[in-house]
Amino acid sequence: MTDQTKPSWTADRGADLLGALFFLTRLPTPTTHTPPPFTRAVWAFPLAGALVGLIGALAVGGAQALGLSPTLAALLGVSVMALVTGAMHEDAVADIADGFGGGRTRERVLEIMRDSRVGAFGVTALVLVLALRVAALAALAGGPWAMAALVCAAGLGRGAAVLMLGLLPPARTDGLGASFGRPQQASLAFALILCLVLAVVLLPGAAPAVALVGMVAPTLYLAWRAKVRIGGQTGDVAGAAALIGETLALVGLSAMLGAAP
C-alpha cells in the first residue's frame, strides 16, 4: 500500500467510531464499512455509549414534553436504549447471574453462561438492574442534569467493558472474548481518558468522582469474581460490566443531582 492509499489518521479514527457502533449497537453503519480491529476500536466505546445515552435522554425529554410522568419517561428511555443496543448488555447480566449463581465448578459456570435459557438468578438480576436504572433516571428526569447524567453514565458503562477486557485474559480459547483479543494498551488508556473527560465536561462539582467510582468499583469487583470463578473474562462478563457500571454510575448521580434545583 502506498502512502497515497493509506488511510489517514482521521479516517482510522472515524472507522474506529463506526466499528464501536457496529460492535455495541444495532444502529445502521455504512454497508461498505469493514469493521476495524476490535483491539484498536475499543477506545471509541465510551463515545458509542454516550451516543446511546443521548438517544435515551432524548426519548426521556420527548416523553416528558408529551406530559408523561418521570417514571414513565424513564421507563421509555431505558426501553429505547435497550432497543438501540439489542439488549445485549441485559442478556449478559442475566447470563452472568445464572452462571455465577447456579454453577459450582468453572466448567459448569461457563456451560450455564452459554445456555440461551434464563433462570431464576438471571431474571432476578435483570429485574433489579432495570428497576435501579428506571428509578435513578426518574429521580433525575425533569431536573437540569438528567440528559448529562444519562449520557455520561452510558459512556462510562462502555468504558467499564473496555476496562474489564484489559484487566483479565479470556476465560475460554473459543469464546467471544478470545476471538476479539485484549485491547491495545493505547486504546485502553484512551478509552479511560475519554471516560474521565466525559465526566468532567458533562457533570458539575464532585459528581464526576461519584460517577467514576460508580463505574470503576463494580468493574473491579466483577473482575475479581470472574477471575476466581472462571479464570478470566468472556463477552458476557464485559457486557455485564458495561450495564452494571452504567447503572451504579446513574444511581450515584441520581443521589447527588436528582434533587438539584
User: Whole domain around residue 111: which residue ranges?
Assistant: 53-257
Write down the pLDDT at residue 12: 79
Positions in the chain whose pLDDT score sits under 70: 1-7, 31-33, 175-179, 259-261
- Examine residue 127 and state whether it is found in any structural domain, yes or no: yes
Write down the pLDDT at residue 261: 44
Write down the pLDDT at residue 178: 64
Write down the pLDDT at residue 260: 45
- Examine residue 142 and state whether it is found in any structural domain, yes or no: yes
Supply the angle between the helices 207-230 and 235-257 in degrees, to the nearest 10.
150
Closest CA to 183 of 197, 169, 201, 202: 169
Number of folded domains that form the chain: 1
- Examine residue 140 and state whether it is found in any structural domain, yes or no: yes
- Examine residue 71 and state whether it is found in any structural domain, yes or no: yes
Please, what is the Cα angle at 19 between 18 and 24, to 5 degrees? 100
Helix (H) or strand (E) holding 186: helix 185-202
- Examine residue 121 and state whether it is found in any structural domain, yes or no: yes
- Examine residue 151 and state whether it is found in any structural domain, yes or no: yes
- Examine residue 9 and state whether it is found in any structural domain, yes or no: no
Is-contact 210 252, C-beta < 8 A?
yes
